Structure 1
Amino acid sequence: MNNSNKLESILRERGPIKKIGVIGMGYVGIPAAALFADSDKFDHVLGFQRASSSSGYKINMLNRGESPLKGEEPGLEELLAKVVKAGKFECTSDFSKIAELDAVTLAIQTPFADSKALEPDFGALKDGIRNVGKYLQPGMLVVLESTITPRTTDTMAREILEQESGLVAGEDFALAHAPERVMVGRLLRNIQEHDRIVGGIDGPSTQRAVELYTPVLTKGKVISMTATAAEVTKTAENTFRDLQIAAANQLALYCEAMGINVYDVRAGIDSLKGEGITRAILWPGAGVGGHCLTKDTYHLERGVKLGTEQLDYPADAESIYVLARRVNDFMPVHMFNLTGAALGRVNGKIEGSKIAMLGWAFINDSDDARNPPSEPYRDMAIEAGADVMVHDPHVLQYPDVEIHKDIGKVLKGADAVVIFTGHKEYFGLSPESIRELTGRDNPVIIDGRNVINPDMFIDAGFVYKGIGRGDKNQHPIKKQ
């Protein structure tokens, strides 16, 4: 009996997937676990979370049917309450319960320790895989949902699981990669409606993973491929999005230099539609944040280094993907430069000024503050001698940064107001109330997300600068 036939036989004997474990109770693991638990195809779902000082609080919250994720996540709190009340979901720190399961997924962050050296920090992921390996039983399915360097599933993950369990992947247990494809603010909908990429290390592993994910899909369908192809798909789709954002950001910088409005240009480009025409263009902004886009390019680049063939590419040419990362990383620097230039128009400077930062999260109406572009801006401003206060209605806390909920307190006495996040609360900002709170005749406002109407603020005496607003950034200052 060959390996595939042996695994098929073991899976057949085990029967359908009924009990599932999800390791990593974060933005990916929590909604996934809730949806698995809500399916009538599965009997029980365990969410695994370390009882650590930083995130152990999630265990009790989840077991009460409460979501530890803040910001707007339609339907998540209600679904958690439902599956907990039904007895179909619970969260635990007891990893030995893995032995009771039919399938385990891992949704653990995979940052980079050193992006220039292409060295990922797989420490947390390795710990998670080891925990699975210790309790792995014949016929179980293990799925990596974390975004990883191509070839990780069939090399590092396989090796750790086999070493810890004494079992053989593709012979005694199934192993696959099924990358998450979610965005905060729409987690449940994304899991149900987006197509699911599923890649096993062999045919039986792929089919077992398809069996796991099919019941939670509504509009989405499963797209099967190899594990390595699935890994490349995930890293590449995020890399392409980062590239598209960089293209919009570079265009915004060009439009500023040429004195025109990038949003007019964008609308013009986007208007060209028809058969065979693709002119999709994303939006410029104050920078790219989050866990995925800020590092997935480096996973893809590292995958090429680990490839089996020599890369054929223009000699001495920088990767366009890495260059895109540099452009997007530059946008907080550009926001800093705009702030300094605007203050200079009223004989001010960053040193000694009070800056009110509006928004810390990297995405609107969310508490997701992983790798936010607001952080390097704040660091630069403080290093330049500014007094910086941060407001965010959703982010409760952030290491070494005080996040205020009282926007009036943040705005009071500010020399410059800098909008970093497009939270809905900021779209209704009144120039009159801000001007009164700042107490400045000509307060500075920097819009990094196209949130405010520049003419309203310019007419009220503000010194305005915005990303891509070359048509407004040198406006005459109205004396009040």
Structure 2
Amino acid sequence: MASLYSDLCDKKEKLALVGLGYVGMPIAVAFAKKLDVIGYDLNSRKIELYKQGIDPTNEVGSEGIKETTVLFTADEVDLDQAKFFIVAVPTPVNPDHTPDLSPVEGASEIVGRHLSPGSIVVYESTVYPGVTEDICIPILERESGLKCGVDFKVGYSPERINPGDKEHRLETITKIVSGMDAGSLEEIANVYELVIDAGVHRAESIKVAEAAKVIENSQRDINIAFMNELSIIFHKMGVDTKSVLEAAGTKWNFLKFTPGLVGGHCIGVDPYYLTHKAEQLGYHSQVILSGRRINDDMGKYVAENLVKRLIANSVPVKEAKVGIFGFTFKEDCPDVRNTKVIDIINELREYGIEPMVYDPVADEREMDQFYGLSSSSPEEMVDLDAVLVAVGHEDFVTIPHEKWAERYSQRPEAPVFFDVKGIYSKDEFEGAGFDYWRL
């Protein structure tokens, strides 16, 4: 195979990014500084925003979108111009926690229709080991009429972008790359080295690269589950979890994880991909699935404790006015996919409480589309019986307790204040008369 890398650098060939979300769009913009790039997404509304210089993800910023040379398109015919394809579509799970591979299968069909001899296809979507070779390659061959390994090559390079993180960016995170053979591995590594300042790690096979990605988030999930279990135990003991972790954290090798809601499209999803494959092979996960169960139940746990605090403060539970601040799956990121705040809301509804929700960062269109919710205004979040700060947005962190106090109804009881992420001073709030609670 002639060097596709050289042809890309000489701009004789083009690179296409398929899937322009929180992961794909920053990759497209980064490569466009070096190569001719086509950015394709099925979502024509999203493409129109990009064409207008608007970044709904906040990952690059609207200024970066305005300046980029990426050809944004929702017309797959434009993919005929490309020779190097990167697929970065989401890989969610079904309601029964089995992998939903339809996005990556659909993307493979689209790419397959526009493959030409000499092409390389690299998948970035998180999958279990074997998906690229056993599921994606047959689709590419079927749609293109070409033979993998002869007419085109395939590789896998798992995404490691952390949405909302301004420190750990695409360029500063070591990139795992893999190829189906030595030649494709070098071509893929060379292409990624154009934009990855931290360098690349050449995995020995596609399956190794797939496995590395899926265990990264499984490891975090298990560690957070341990913190959540400790939080449940320490609450029963009347011990403050954050204080315990601060004390334990003075030891040099103590892992500094904290309890919390585990949502989003990675940590709360990827472990199910690994356990699904394990079950296909006859092994039922014990540690991984135990961690998932703990983390999936934390929204319910928070809501139950809120109800207990309302009762303890003589607040009638049914139709109590609860204000939830923050709805996204993580701080300062508009992404609401798989947010676990919805679990708190759904559990409170079981008690006859319809909470109000305010989030200055969340994508309101997606709040409505996925959950049928609309964000209240700050002015509406008043006369509350309880405040629950679910996400540590920068806008919330700086609010003093005096301002929070103004949002409550004038009840004689202590104002119930839930600081799920532990972003405020416990002593300060309790000293001001709040009934303060945190994980």
TM-score range, shorter chain: over 0.9
Distance in 1, Cα, partners of 2:344 & 2:112: 42
Structure 1 residue ranges without an equivalent (≥5): 1-8, 312-316, 468-480
Structure with higher RCO (Cα < 8 A, 6+ apart): 1
Relative to the length of structure 2, the TM-score reads 0.92
Instruction: Specify which of 386, 392, 399 is matched with residue 359 of structure 2.
Output: 392
Alignment-derived partner of residue 337 in structure 2: 370
1:169-188 correspondence to structure 2 within 5 Å: 169-186=148-165
1: CA distance, partners of 2:259 / 2:266: 18
Deviations 1:303-348 (A, max 9, x none): 32455xx65xxxxx75201111111112111111210111111122
CA–CA separation in structure 2 for the residues paired with 1:11 and 1:194:
26
Structure 1 position 255 matched with structure 2 position 234 = yes
Q: 1:79 aligns with which of 58, 61, 64?
A: 64
**Residues 338 and 446, structure 1, Cα contact 8 Å, conserved in 2:** no
Aligned to 2:274: 300
Pair 452,268 (structure 1): closer, same or farther in 2 beyond 3 Å: closer
Show the counterpart of 1:422. 392
- Aligned with residue 45 of structure 1, among 16, 37, 42: 37
Aligned to 1:291: 265
Confirm or deny: 8 A CA contact 1:356 1:417 kept in the other structure: yes
Q: Structure 1 residue 63 and structure 2 residue 61: aligned?
A: no
Percent of matched pairs sharing the same residue: 28
SS at match of 2:406: helix
Give the direction of change, closer, same or farther, for the CA distance of 1:174–1:365 in structure 2 (3 Å limit). same
Q: Does 1:407 align with 2:378?
A: yes
Per-residue deviation at 1:159?
A: 0.4
Query: Which residue, out of 92, 100, 104, partners 1:111?
Result: 92
2:186 corresponds to? 207
- Is 169-178 or 220-229 further displaced after alignment? 220-229
Q: What residue number does 2:114 align with?
A: 135
Q: Partners of 1:451 and 1:269 in 2: how far apart?
A: 19
Do structure 1's residue 361 and structure 2's residue 328 form an aligned pair? yes
Task: Give the secondary-structure state (helix, strand or coil) at the position aligned to 1:26.
Answer: coil
Aligned position for 2:102: 123
Stretch of structure 1 that moved more, 168-177 or 247-256: 247-256
Q: Which deviates more from structure 2 when the two are superposed, residues 253-262 or residues 392-401?
A: 253-262
CA shift digits 1:361-399 (9 cap, x unpaired): 111111111111110111111232113100101113102
Q: Distance in 1 between matches of 2:47 and 2:73?
A: 6
CA distance in 2, matches of 1:371, 1:163: 33
2:254 counterpart (263, 279, 298): 279
CA distance in 2, matches of 1:263, 1:437: 26
Q: Look up the match of 1:314.
A: none
Aligned to 1:472: none
Deviation at 1:455, TM superposition (A): 2.7
The structure-2 alpha-carbon separation of the partners of 1:353 and 1:247, relative to structure 1 and needing over 3 Å to count, comes to: same
1:466 matches 2:438? yes
* TM-align CA RMSD: 2.0
* Structure 2 Cα separation of the partners of residues 212 and 403 of structure 1: 42
C-alpha contact (below 8 Å) 2:275/2:285 kept by paired residues: no
**Distance across 1 between alignment mates of 2:334 and 2:6:** 41
Q: Distance in 1 between matches of 2:39 and 2:20?
A: 7
For residues 55-106 of structure 1, give each alpha carbon's deviation from its aligned partner in whole angstroms, at most 9, with x where no partner exists: 4222122123321214xx4x543332222xxxx3120111122221121111
Contact 2:417 2:437 in 1 (8 A): yes
CA distance change for structure 1 residues 114 and 391 in 2, over 3 Å: closer, same or farther?
Answer: closer
